[in-house]
Structure 1
Amino acid sequence: MTTQTLTFAAARSRAHGPTAALWHAVEVHRAPADLDGACELTVCGTLARVSTEEHWPVRGADVCPACATGR
């Protein structure tokens, strides 16, 4: 029997026009060591590149409100 631990990783979206890049939360269903910095689907439904250097929750004003409250 295996036990699955739910982990949240931090991911950075791209800036689009006047919209700033935001930090998002990504539900990770595998070992954090298996993350390779690829784009993942975030809690709010956008695609963002996972950052292995940052940990969720990220502090700052540039955090996605939906990801901050939706996890």
Structure 2
Amino acid sequence: MTTQTLTFAAARSRAHGPTAALWHAVEVHRAPADLDGACELTVCGTLARVTTDQHWPVRALDACPVCAVQAR
């Protein structure tokens, strides 16, 4: 039996109107180098740009609460 480990990358969304930009979690299924700068679907369903400068979980106050719960 194979055990699968989930790995998450940090991604930053853009602010839209009254919505603030937040840090989100993206489930990684390929090499992190392939994700750098790419726009990906986050754990909560938002599109956000992945960055390798930050690691999930981010140590920021502006992290998405849904991603924080679902990407434990």
**For the superposition of Structure 1 and Structure 2, which TM-score range results when normalised by the shorter chain?**
0.7 to 0.9
CA deviation after TM superposition for structure 1 residue 31, in Å: 1.3
Aligned residue for 2:67, secondary structure, equals: helix
Q: How far did 1:25 drift?
A: 0.1
Unaligned runs of 5+ in 2: none
Task: Give TM-score scaled by structure 2 length.
Answer: 0.86
Please list every run of at least 4 consecutive aligned residues from structure 1 whose deviation after the TM superposition is greater than 4 angstroms.
none
1:33 offset after TM fit, Å? 2.0
TM-align CA RMSD: 1.5
CA distance in structure 2 between the aligned counterparts of 1:6 and 1:69, rounded to whole angstroms? 14
Counterpart AA for 2:34: D
Name stretches of at least 5 consecutive residues in structure 1 with no aligned partner.
Answer: none
What's 1:58 paired with? 58
Cα deviation code 1:7-66 (max 9, x no counterpart): 100000000112110000000101112223110000000100001111100012100000
Q: Is the 8 A contact 1:4 1:29 kept in 2?
A: no
